[in-house]
Amino acid sequence: MHEVDSVARPADAVVSAWFRARRYIGDRDRGQILELLYGLLRHHARLGWWLARHGREDTPRNRLLAWLTLKEAKTPDQIERLFNGAKFAPAMLTDHEHALLVKLRGCTIGHPDMPEEVRLECPSWAADPLRRRFGEAFGDEMAALLAPAPLDLRVNPIKSTREAMLCAMKDLGLRAEASAMAPYGIRVLERPSLASLPMLRTGEVEIQDEGSQLVAMLVDARPGERVVDFCAGAGGKTLAIAAQMKNKGHVVACDVMEGRLKRGAERFRQAGLHNIETRLLAGETDRWIKRHKGGFDRVLVDVPCSGTGTWRRNPDARWRSPEEQGLDKLVSLQARILASAARLVKPGGRLVYATCSMLPEENEDQVAAFLAAYPAFRAVPLSEAAPQLTASAHTDYLSLTPARNDTDGFFAAVMQREGALTPERALTKDKAE
């Protein structure tokens, strides 16, 4: 827990490295450790509130002590037997720590005096924007973000079918069902060890939230087309797009992080997809963009964002707030990335802007500002772009939330380029580079 708090990397990356250095830990113990860690992360604000109430420092050890009392209802004596200083046990309790356990005995994790933001584990920087976004549904949406995310898989149609994979899951003794909206999606109704799923190793399926699958589907890439995934990361949506194209045409997976692209390339090979090229960019104004203006049929721009939609999957992310650089600066970066990526779209081509955020500033407001600045593009209503998607909270754009759709929170807007930039505007933008 101390490493998760002190290291800038996401919790899953820290945990993965921690387990690699301790290969002697068995699968059962690993599962219990993970369950405890993510339980602590999902109760971060409430545990901190209790510690502050009793004048205690908010440290990982104190949080654990509070958790064992408030959530697991262990007595001070029971906890003292766990904290016995043995080889693999925590250090013995101090008198001060024992006194805390006595004060917390008989209490539960919730308390009537807790502010709503604490009770719902909503960081202060996001509370007002999310209240504006959801209104009376704010409490329900925040509560849904506290539940663990389900395990969603996307079948790779190059290698298998959803029916075959559902049968394979049944043969493994796993309960699974077809996803409600994504045509290649499977939802696993339990929490198996990923190592027990051979179809992950063979590239027949990929782990991908159903909402993310739907964003990739909106790109609507066709065999033989030229497509860019502008902020590809490790390539989850790139894989879905390339599979849409049946391995025909050309997909360019771009990112500014070389490590992500290398991981993506490994996944592409495992999935049997060879119509993908990786491209490392120096930034949103890389010269490669200028050289390929108007050269692509489809461009997906899944921009860096606050990640509010992923909090149930990444509970540590809500406490890694964008306050350090400021939400305004993040929104400004998104606007620059979108404007730059839009230059790659040819007339008649499709531009898809996406986030895993639920903040209007990063979603609808961002799209409205772009369309006002770039009249060559028009918004394509969701009813036209994907009429089968009727569960969206927004009529014009894809808008998914955990409480409404049981997916991660996602936003996507489909736009089409109707014409070219005027020569004056294009010249001005080229000189600015």
- Would you state the structure tokens that stand for residue 25, as one six-digit string? 């830990």
Residue 166 and residue 201: Cα distance in Å, rounded?
A: 16
Residue type, 275: N
For residue 93, the SS3 value is: coil
CA dist., res. 310 & res. 305, Å (int) = 11
Contact 294, 347 (CB under 8 A): yes
Name the amino acid, one letter, at 296: F
**Residue of 212, 379, 213, 241 lying closest to 307 (CA atoms):** 212
Give the Cβ contact number of residue 44 at 10 Å. Answer: 19
Helix (H) or strand (E) holding 212: helix 210-219
**CB-CB neighbours of 48 under 10 Å:** 17
**Backbone dihedral angles phi then psi of residue 252, each to the nearest 5 degrees:** -110, 120
Beta-ladder partners of 15: none
Report how far residue 342's alpha carbon sits from residue 261's, in angstroms, rounded to the nearest whole number: 21
Rounded to a whole number of angstroms, the distance between the first and last alpha carbons of the chain is: 45
Eight-state DSSP code of residue 399: E
3-state class (DSSP) for residue 31: helix
Q: Is the dihedral of CA 271, 276, 282, 286 positive or negative?
A: negative
Q: Which residues of 70-99 are buried (b: 16+ CB within 10 A; e: fewer)?
A: bbeebebeebeeebeeeeeeeeebeeebbe
CA-closest candidate to residue 217, choices 288, 327, 300: 300
Environment class of 396 (CB within 10 Å of its CB; exposed 0-12, middle 13-18, buried 19+): middle
| Unique residue bearing structure tokens 């509560």 | 143
Catalytic residues: 356
Q: Shortest CA distance to 121 belongs to which of 314, 274, 259? A: 314
C-alpha angle 18-22-27 in degrees, rounded to nearest 5: 95
